[in-house]
């Protein structure tokens, strides 16, 4: 498996699909905002997943060879057999990996102190707070055990932890009403899986370094997760207090706690900066309960947004597959031209072949499992150990046709044979290093195999190439007058 090219393709495609989805989100954002915070937040989650899940890579698998289970399809970017493209891709991949490692290390370093803060969590022992917490958990139908702790190093109530979620309270006295608002808000964050999506947005931020759309994604996720949480919390707490009172209690609870230190931690807070809290209140003032007509409009917008993203991704996959085919054809010709003088063909009868049966590896996924048609390119990517011969399945070739085989050897200083075998296991081959390419003319109809044989002791080789058969066209010359 050409794993370097695979990783490069996955990273590139996720960046492209995420960016396309982000652009669509920007185009739809005004309409989404008029409908509901929930639709805004869900669409942002969708954009985030597009940056992380290689959906277009799967689409390329489906469209490049017509069979996603065919592991030798064009998706393996065979045109990277040319050295210049290979070097460029390797450099870009290692540059991306280096910057990513640096970003992750910086993030961990900035949060070392924050991690120490959360180690100071002490389980809640106030009977009133524990009773109210259990009541709200039951009301919101939360069956999983959520921790409730105090911490003297935090400034505002918050939900923290992905695998072991916990609601944290500062060391101060809260009224029953304040506890009701706090627990409704933080437990709504838990029901919305906001911590998970905040982690996803952080991963996007740390991996998409040069993408301006991706850099803004985390801030928008944080903002709209709070709007959406307020909306749902107000609906849940509506039988106990009004929306106006809900925000009044938050303001009373915040007090001096609105000065939140800046860091890259992943948690959800009740009280943010004063500006952000004002924005939340202003948004809820503009928010009206959805009517039946608005719900239909919301559903139509969501379906349209989803269809545009999916169809664009599929179309991009198709175009990338076509582009890859063209690039492959161009670079394959370039490889052939760079080979210089044509190689010498050798013939080796089966009885003189010194390759033992245990050194032959029959490749299971090749042409023997399907009907290879004329001019149909079959590609391979083999890691061949020293002394081993990788052999394909058989396919029918008629007299007068040619079997064209080409391969690139990595590293380029390993001596190999490349050729064909007939039904009697007689061998025709060319030999050499680095790149091999040859058209074997068939004089006898029958079944043939393609092989690459690593003849160098102590060295493994990665053979990347392709083969197909075609009908040799007779030379036509214009009559001389």
Render pLDDT for 177-194 as a digit per residue (tens, 0 to 9): 999 999 999 999 999 888
Q: Is pLDDT larger for residue 468 or for residue 281?
A: 468
Q: How much is the CA Rg of the chain, to the nearest whole Å?
A: 32
- Summarize the confidence of residues 126-145 as an average pLDDT: 91
Whether residue 415 contacts residue 455, with contact meaning beta carbons closer than 8 Å, is answered with yes
Range with lowest mean pLDDT among 187-196, 332-341, 346-355, 388-397: 332-341
The answer to whether residue 169 scores a pLDDT higher than 50 is: yes
Please tell me the chain's helix, strand, coil percentages from 3-state DSSP, rounded to the nearest 5. 50, 15, 30
Quick one: CA dihedral 104, 110, 113, 117, positive or negative? Answer: negative
CA 305, distance to chain mean position in Å, is 20
Residue whose C-alpha is closest to residue 310's, from 42, 46, 37, 15 = 46
The answer to whether residue 142 scores a pLDDT higher than 80 is: yes
Cα dihedral 189→215→36→39 (10° resolution):
-80
Cα dihedral 21→73→332→325 (10° resolution):
-40
- Beta pairing class for 378-384 and 416-421: unpaired
Q: Is pLDDT larger for residue 57 or for residue 148?
A: 148
CA distance 325 to 214: 30
- Summarize the confidence of residues 130-134 as an average pLDDT: 93
DSSP letter at 240 equals T
Cis peptide before 411 (omega within 30 of 0): yes
Identify the pLDDT of residue 262: 44
Identify the pLDDT of residue 67: 37
Identify the pLDDT of residue 305: 79
- Beta pairing class for 435-441 and 401-410: antiparallel
Identify the pLDDT of residue 30: 80
Q: Tokens 């929930």 correspond to what residue?
A: 38
CA distance 448 to 270: 71
pLDDT band at 26, cuts 50/70/90?
Answer: confident
Length of the chain: 481
CA distance 361 to 389: 6
Beta strands (DSSP E) in 51-179 are 122-123, 147-150, 158-160, 166-169
Q: What percent of the chain stands above pLDDT 70?
A: 75
pLDDT band at 304, cuts 50/70/90?
Answer: confident
Identify the pLDDT of residue 426: 94
Identify the pLDDT of residue 258: 40
CB atoms near residue 168 (< 10 Å): 25
Residue whose C-alpha is closest to residue 43's, from 185, 291, 290, 221 = 221
Identify the pLDDT of residue 322: 62
CA distance 379 to 467: 6
Whether residue 448 contacts residue 422, with contact meaning beta carbons closer than 8 Å, is answered with yes
Range with lowest mean pLDDT among 36-45, 65-74, 280-289, 329-338: 65-74
Whether residue 232 contacts residue 192, with contact meaning beta carbons closer than 8 Å, is answered with yes
* Cα separations in angstroms, 154 against 21, 41, 123, 199, 246: 36, 27, 15, 20, 22
Identify the pLDDT of residue 360: 92
CA distance 414 to 431: 11
- Beta pairing class for 461-471 and 446-454: unpaired
What are the backbone dihedrals phi and psi of residue 414, each rounded to the nearest 5 degrees, phi first? Answer: -100, 130
CA distance 80 to 95: 18
What pLDDT, in 10s, does the model give residues 410-455? 888 889 999 999 999 999 999 988 888 899 999 999 999 999 999 9
- Beta pairing class for 147-150 and 166-169: parallel
Identify the pLDDT of residue 68: 34
Residue whose C-alpha is closest to residue 216's, from 28, 51, 342 = 51
Q: Which 3 state secondary structure label does DSSP give 390?
A: strand
Range with lowest mean pLDDT among 28-42, 101-115, 222-236, 308-322: 308-322
Q: Which 3 state secondary structure label does DSSP give 297?
A: helix
Identify the pLDDT of residue 294: 61
CA distance 191 to 36: 18
Whether residue 417 contacts residue 385, with contact meaning beta carbons closer than 8 Å, is answered with no
Q: Which two tokens stand for residue 35?
A: 């409908």
CA distance 266 to 54: 24
What pLDDT, in 10s, does the model give residues 257-279? 444 444 445 556 566 556 666 67
* Cα separations in angstroms, 126 against 122, 137, 176: 12, 17, 12
- Beta pairing class for 166-169 and 446-454: unpaired
Q: Is pLDDT larger for residue 481 or for residue 166?
A: 166
Whether residue 253 contacts residue 178, with contact meaning beta carbons closer than 8 Å, is answered with yes
What mean pLDDT is reported for the chain? 78
The answer to whether residue 21 scores a pLDDT higher than 50 is: yes
Identify the pLDDT of residue 75: 42
The answer to whether residue 63 scores a pLDDT higher than 60 is: no
């Amino acid at each position: 498996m050409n794993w370097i090219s695979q990783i490069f393709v996955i990273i590139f495609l996720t960046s492209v699909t995420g960016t396309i989805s982000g652009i669509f989100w920007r185009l739809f954002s005004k309409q989404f905002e008029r409908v509901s915070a929930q639709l805004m937040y869900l669409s942002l989650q969708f954009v985030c997943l597009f940056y992380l899940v290689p959906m277009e890579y799967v689409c390329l698998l489906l469209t490049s060879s017509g069979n996603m289970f065919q592991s030798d399809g064009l998706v393996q970017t065979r045109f990277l057999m040319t050295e210049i493209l290979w070097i460029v891709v390797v450099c870009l991949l290692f540059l991306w990996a280096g910057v990513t490692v640096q970003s992750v290390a910086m993030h961990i370093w900035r949060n070392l102190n924050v991690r120490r803060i959360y180690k100071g969590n002490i389980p809640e022992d106030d009977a009133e707070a524990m009773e109210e917490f259990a009541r709200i958990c039951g009301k919101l139908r939360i069956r999983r055990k959520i921790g409730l702790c105090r911490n003297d190093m935090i400034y505002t109530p918050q939900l923290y932890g992905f695998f072991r979620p916990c609601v944290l309270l500062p060391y101060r006295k809260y009224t029953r009403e304040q506890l009701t608002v706090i627990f409704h808000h933080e437990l709504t964050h838990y029901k919305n899986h906001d911590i998970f999506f905040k982690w996803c947005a952080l991963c996007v931020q740390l991996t998409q370094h040069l993408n301006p759309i991706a850099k803004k994604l985390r801030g928008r996720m944080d903002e709209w997760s709070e709007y959406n949480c307020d909306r749902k919390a107000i609906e849940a707490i509506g039988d106990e207090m009004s929306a106006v009172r809900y925000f009044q209690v938050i303001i009373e609870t915040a007090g001096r706690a609105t000065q939140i230190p800046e860091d890259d931690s992943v948690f959800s807070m009740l009280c943010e900066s004063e500006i952000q809290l004002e924005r939340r209140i202003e948004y809820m003032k503009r928010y009206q309960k959805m009517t039946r007509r608005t719900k239909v409009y919301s559903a139509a917008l969501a379906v349209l947004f989803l269809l545009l993203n999916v169809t664009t991704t599929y179309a991009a996959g198709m175009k990338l597959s076509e582009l890859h085919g063209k690039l492959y054809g161009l670079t394959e010709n370039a490889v052939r031209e760079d080979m210089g003088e044509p190689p010498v063909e050798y013939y080796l009868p089966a009885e003189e072949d010194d390759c033992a049966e245990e050194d032959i590896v029959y490749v299971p996924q090749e042409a023997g499992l399907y009907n290879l048609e004329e001019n149909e390119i079959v590609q391979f990517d083999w890691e061949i150990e020293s002394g081993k011969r990788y052999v394909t399945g058989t396919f029918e070739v008629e007299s007068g046709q040619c079997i064209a085989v080409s391969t690139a050897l990595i590293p380029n200083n390993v001596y190999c044979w490349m050729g064909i075998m007939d039904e009697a296991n007689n061998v025709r081959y060319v030999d050499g290093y680095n790149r091999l390419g040859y058209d074997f003319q068939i004089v006898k109809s029958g079944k043939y195999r393609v092989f690459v044989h690593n003849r160098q002791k102590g060295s493994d080789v990665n053979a990347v190439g392709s083969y197909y058969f075609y009908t040799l066209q007779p030379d036509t010359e214009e009559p001389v007058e």
